[in-house]
């Protein structure tokens, strides 16, 4: 019998660099692996990573296909950071949930209190 894992994958990487693309690609692959094993996985975009949530929603993006495989695991994006990075309107248009449980940010305490492991990219 396989143990089910509760994990939150958090993307903090910016869209500005090749290194950032590598980090988000690795995050998406991690979500895909947890999903394939039937684990309870959440994908959250925070900090500069909120820009990725919008960019990956565009069908022409290089990582669009991989994103589509795991898009059902997106819990949302940081409400505060969406405003700070100017993507709130685009996020709403892409039907992304804005998360603001703690001062406009996702609650990492709530994740830990519910036994989620948190991995950041």
Tell whether the model's pLDDT for residue 31 goes beyond 70. Answer: yes
Q: Which two tokens stand for residue 58?
A: 């565009």
Quote the percentage of the chain above a pLDDT of 90: 97
Query: CA 34, 101, 118 angle in degrees (round to 5)?
Result: 30
User: The CATH number of 6-120 is which of 3.20.20.80, 3.40.1260.10, 3.40.190.10, 3.40.50.300?
Assistant: 3.40.1260.10
Tell whether the model's pLDDT for residue 1 goes beyond 90. Answer: no
Q: Could you give the C-alpha distances from 3 to 10, 37, 39, 54, in angstroms and in order?
A: 22, 10, 9, 33
Q: Which two tokens stand for residue 14?
A: 């910016």
Question: What is the pTM assigned to this prediction?
Answer: 0.95
Query: CA 73, 78, 83 angle in degrees (round to 5)?
Result: 135
**E strand or H helix at 7:** strand 6-11
> What does the pLDDT look like over 62-115, one tens digit per residue?
999 999 999 999 999 999 999 999 999 999 999 999 999 999 999 999 999 999
Q: Are 76 and 101 in contact (CB under 8 A)?
A: no
């Amino acid at each position: 019998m396989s143990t089910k894992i509760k994990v939150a994958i958090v993307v903090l990487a910016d869209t500005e660099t090749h290194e950032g693309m590598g980090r988000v690609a690795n995050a998406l692959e991690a979500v895909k692996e947890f999903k394939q094993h039937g684990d309870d996985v959440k994908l959250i975009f925070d900090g500069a990573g909120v820009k990725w949530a919008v960019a990956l929603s565009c069908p022409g993006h290089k990582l669009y296909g991989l994103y589509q495989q795991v898009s059902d695991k997106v819990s949302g994006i940081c409400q505060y950071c969406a405003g700070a990075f100017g993507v709130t309107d685009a996020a709403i248009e892409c039907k992304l949930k804005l998360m603001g449980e703690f001062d406009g940010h996702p609650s990492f305490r709530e994740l830990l209190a519910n036994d989620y492991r948190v991995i950041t990219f």
